[in-house]
Structure 1
């Protein structure tokens, strides 16, 4: 048997929410037949996380486990409560090894699941005529709230909405009624509310109640509410990936990527997709001297400006077979998994390395987190957890020893 997995869930007074969570854990267990999968709750339901952990490691000869927080954001539960419960379990079983996985975050598969719920609620509405009111949980941790705002912006950039208004259901502002007020004040009368959480519970109930109350007070506006993510394969895949990323064996092996520096000066690089990911990556390719061709029917303002200035070539259309002719390096950065898969497949046939933005392991290269420091580039190639890679990079670059090493002249050998 492999290292056991404990899924750390929030807990709810809602009976349907608790049962949905338990069904989801069964889904994960079916997908991992050789892994003992357990469930622990932060609050309200049993067993609690310490009890779930001690029960599962006491029964294992190696006394090991991986905890995956079933949390979309990195609020107080992820940062403080669950680590505290792990420490409590280790007091009971001090010889155990318990590894803590990353939270779920804005994984592309979860974004896809959210879009499926949105599409189901939209019915005959068109996105370019609709304002998405994107509701987050709300946390005392500012970073968690900022992550929700960033995700709302990603939905706006990639989703084709008339507008997106972010708001929160508790703790911080703007509240859901305030978010609806802002959309209304901006002239929108067709509003789709999406509560960004996992299972049914009081947050879902509050979302429907507040949206219905607001709609009753604004009869000239139309309001529809999407369902939560729920028990689904996309969520299970992300949880399983977080478990595997945190496995001690995986950590010991380092990144699965072979690290090399590409010399792209004068060489053709094809970027498919004109969204925010490409906007971040294209300037670094240009700085490396690459001849960049963008293939996308639309592009962000920043990419369009680069094309207008002649810094990149822009093919304003969908990706087509043959677009990778002569390319040394390829980025598949669209928000359509099917298109990204086609790009990777053609790159594979041409023996050209390709980064796939939505599903890194399906590509043939990773993009490193990097920072130019003096005449050096410091980069971290990780394990598909970009937040961790960025944190490690910042720690390296911010180290006093590293700064001194960069500043000191070094003779050539």
Structure 2
């Protein structure tokens, strides 16, 4: 049986100077999956586009390079697959304990650079991208609970768009309660407009986004292995489109 190709699909950013995280993670994934064709693409703003990434591929496995199951995962990706005529979409990447450990590591690095320790923090704000849908908001709340368990300090979720509180509001709330040392941990895969906005939150310091960490590549590779091992098929007029089951948002 022919090995199915893999496409890792991210949102994309217009922020100048953003690091090529998706490209780097995709290269790491290719090393983890020898013999598998691995491509990457973006839903908007950057190239290659999703259509370019799909071009010439039959029955690709698409791993959404998203932490939450928001609009792009639930609407755009199925539409792109239906247009292509074959393929399957796996579950997105979060909330995953493996990735939360990376968030914790980024925070520890930032704390060390600020001359402090995570255990001395009064609080942490975990800043996700935000959504009008309840499901990705709930997933950010779950990620905050996982991070609190990992760090041993209080963690509250916040959002960069569409949902309250914002990171700035969450930091201000901690301050009103008497907290002095507050850090912001981006629950974001890559640098961009959202991550840069966090530096206006008035936190004591802001950690780096998750970035091209080997743990992220391992999660992507695992999603692929799960998909090729167990699929739910839906016949489409131009070929087979199989979509992973999605919980109601």
TM-score band by shorter chain is: 0.7 to 0.9
1:237 to 207, 218, 228: 218
Counterpart Cα distance in 1 of 2:215 and 2:118: 25
Equivalence for 1:11: 12
Cα RMSD between the aligned structures? 2.2
Q: Secondary structure of the equivalent of 1:239?
A: helix
- Which ranges of structure 2 fall in alignment gaps of 5 or more residues? 233-243
Bigger radius of gyration, 1 or 2?
1
Q: Secondary structure, in 3 states, of the residue corresponding to 1:143? A: helix
Report the CA distance between 1:17 and its aligned residue: 2.8
Return structure 1 stretches of 4+ with deviation > 4 angstroms.
none
- Highest RCO, 1 vs 2 (Cα 8 Å, sep ≥ 6): 2
* Number of matched pairs: 233
| Equivalent residue in structure 1 for 2:106, among 102, 107, 117 | 117
Kindly tell me: are residues 10 and 18 of structure 1, through their superposed partners in 2, closer, same or farther at Cα, counting changes over 3 Å?
farther
Contact 1:165–1:183, Cα closer than 8 Å, also in 2: no
Distance 1:50 1:183 in 2: 45
SS at match of 2:20: helix
Shift in CA distance, 126/199, structure 1 to aligned 2, threshold 3 Å: closer
2:76 is equivalent to residue 87 of structure 1: no
2:151 maps to which residue? 159
Do the aligned residues in 2 keep the contact of 1:11 with 1:18 (CA within 8 Å)?
A: no
Gaps of 5+ in 1: 58-62, 91-96, 216-222, 254-386, 395-413
How does the TM-score come out when normalised to structure 2? 0.86
Corresponding residue for 2:35? 34
Determine if the alignment matches structure 1 residue 184 to structure 2 residue 175. Answer: yes
SS at match of 1:17: coil
Structure 2 residue aligned with 1:251: 230
TM-score by length of 1: 0.53
Counterpart CA distance in 1 for 2:28 and 2:16 is 18
Mapped partners of 2:91, 2:191: distance in 1: 23
1:149 aligns with 2:141: yes
Are positions 1:207 and 2:198 aligned together? yes
In 2, are the aligned partners of 1:133 and 1:194 still within 8 Å (CA)? yes
The answer to whether 1:69 aligns with 2:64 is: yes
Any conservation in 2 of the 1:165–1:182 contact (CA below 8 Å)? no
Mapped partners of 1:226, 1:138: distance in 2: 18
Whether the 8 Å CA contact 2:121–2:182 is kept in 1: the answer is no
Contact 2:14/2:192, CA 8 A, preserved across alignment: yes
